[in-house]
Amino acid sequence: MHLNKQTRPTLIKFSVLSLIAISVLILQGCDKAPVEEKKEVIRPVRAMEVTDVTKFREREFPGIAKATQEVDLAFRVPGQLSEFPVNVGDTVTKGDVVARLDPRDYQVKVDNAMGQLGRAKANLKRAEADYERETTILAEDAGATSMAAVERKEASRDQARADVKAVQATVAATKDDLSYTYLRAPYDGIVVETYVENFESVRAKESIVRILDDSSIEMVINIPENIISTVSGAINIEVIFDPFPTVKIPAMIKEIGTEASKSTRTYPVNLIMSQPNDVKILPGMAGMATAETLESDNNLIATGKQIPLSAIFSPDDIEKTYVWIIDKASEQVTMREVTTGLLKDSGIMVTEGLDFGEWIATAGVHYLREGMKVRILEDSAE
């Protein structure tokens, strides 16, 4: 196609305009490209609900029954069993013989020691008589003997006395060994396991029989750290064991643990109770413990609400105390000022600023910010 001089500028102008239009379309297309949105960070936090301490009595704490006393009995000396009159399940009384070794070898040792003691006493008697005679001669006729002779007789007497004491110790030891051939029950209880058969040869300190005292039963329960301070005031504690759901057994606190479990943040509390008359509680039975009331309910409520010390913080530029309140609906945290009271071993009391039922962060409080979204860790919400 032939272009004249008039049409050539028009074509060039059209081409430039076309390039500009294409560039505009490309830029508009780029503007409409989807922009990746920044994901919102939700921080996991450990938290707790501010709970009325009186709710302790409304909760159940599981545990397992165990015997108050349980022991493996063993002989102090070796030998061959000659008597083993008990079996698993037998009831024994304190002092009952539960096993015996053949005593003949130990009786021989006692007899030999007694013979040695008799000879030692005879020697002592002669030595004392010699000393008395020598001192009498020296007193009546100084020329008939000498002080050196008296001193030799005195030394012989003293040696004879020492020999008697040594043999007496041997006699006592052999008699003890003879008595150790008897294995007796240390308390009233029940035989739960035997480890040997009659007429076997056994070693010293080898377990022979296991006896437990089932007159009292203990049970260990685990109490959350936010209410452990209330346990010492618990009264009317009752335990119900799974095999006997209608039997309520009164219990008492025997011991309160002072160190929390690192995984569950709970404290062990050891309960003790007497065997009921109508049922038999055996070690290993599972049960639940409850407490009807607390002696210190009113005092604790008046003093405040207890929370972990790790839940409170004070910004560097503010001389006030705060906690992070968690709104469970919006999953956001809000900083709130609180007034603290008495510091306890298991936490700190808050007298103002908190209401029962509110949730607060209990760890990592210095990493939270106003309005930050959080997720309560399931294993620590309790």
- Binned at pLDDT 50, 70 and 90, residue 96 comes out as very high
The CATH T-level fold of domain 104-179 is Helix Hairpins (1.10.287)
Structure tokens at 101: 């070794």
Higher per-residue pLDDT: 123 or 302? 123
Q: What is the pLDDT of residue 309?
A: 84
Residues of the chain with CATH 1.10.287: 104-179
Q: CATH assignment of 71-99+183-210, given 3.90.1150.10, 3.40.50.1100, 3.40.50.300, 2.40.50.100?
A: 2.40.50.100
**DSSP codes joined into one string, 242-311:** TT-TT--EEEEEEEE-SS--TTT-EEEEEEEEEPPSSS---TT-EEEEEEEEETTHHHHHHH-EEE-GGG
Q: Can you say whether the dihedral through the CA atoms of 352, 357, 363, 369 is positive or negative? A: negative
**337 close to 322: Cβ distance less than 8 angstroms:** yes
* Residue 152 confidence (pLDDT): 94
Beta carbons within 10 angstroms of residue 205's beta carbon? 12
Domain with CATH 2.40.50.100 in the chain: 71-99+183-210
pLDDT digits (tens, 9 = 90+) for 65-81: 999 899 999 999 999 99
Separation CA 361–CA 44 (nearest Å): 10
Mean pLDDT of 103-123: 96
Model pTM score: 0.54
Q: Which residue has the higher pLDDT, 162 or 35?
A: 162
- The confidence band for 377, taking pLDDT boundaries of 50, 70 and 90, is confident
CATH 2.40.420.20 maps onto the chain at 303-380
Contact 310, 274 (CB under 8 A): no
* Residue 234 and residue 225 in contact, taking contact as beta carbons nearer than 8 Å: no
* Residue intervals in the chain for CATH 2.40.30.170: 53-67+212-295
Tell me what percent of the residues of the chain surpass a pLDDT of 90.
52
Structure tokens at 4: 């004249």
Contact 373, 332 (CB under 8 A): yes
Return the minimum-mean-pLDDT range out of 93-97, 136-140, 303-307, 336-340: 303-307
Separation CA 233–CA 296 (nearest Å): 6
Pick the residue with more confidence: 224 or 53?
Answer: 224
Could you tell me which residue, 321 or 22, shows the higher pLDDT?
321
Contact between 358 and 24 (Cβ < 8 Å): no
Query: In CATH, what number does 53-67+212-295 get?
Result: 2.40.30.170
Is the pLDDT reported for residue 319 higher than 90?
Answer: no
More reliable by pLDDT, 159 or 309: 159
Residue 250's φ and ψ, nearest 5 degrees, are -65, 140
Q: Is the pLDDT of residue 43 over 60?
A: yes
SS3 343: strand
- Percent pLDDT > 70 in the chain is 81
Q: Which residue has the higher pLDDT, 222 or 57?
A: 222
Q: Beta 374-376 vs 43-45: how paired, if at all?
A: parallel
* Residue 83 CB contacts under 8 Å (≥ 6 apart), including other chains: 97, 99, 100, 198
pLDDT of residue 373: 92
CA angle 103, 104, 106 (to 5 degrees): 70
Answer yes or no: is pLDDT of 5 > 90. Answer: no
Query: How does the average pLDDT of the chain come out, rounded?
Result: 84
Q: Which of 367, 189, 226, 381 is nearest to 300 (CA)?
A: 226
User: Is the pLDDT confidence value at 55 over 60?
Assistant: no
Burial class of 8 by CB neighbour count within 10 A (0 to 12, 13 to 18, 19+): exposed
- CATH code: domain 303-380 is 2.40.420.20
Q: At what angle do helices 147-179 and 104-140 cross, to 10 degrees?
A: 160
Question: Which stretch of 49-58, 142-151, 238-247 has the lowest confidence by average pLDDT?
Answer: 49-58
pLDDT at 364 over 80: yes
Banded model confidence at residue 22, pLDDT cuts 50, 70, 90: low
Where is pLDDT greater, at 219 or 226? 219
More confident: 289 or 230: 289
Residue 41 has pLDDT above 80, yes or no: no
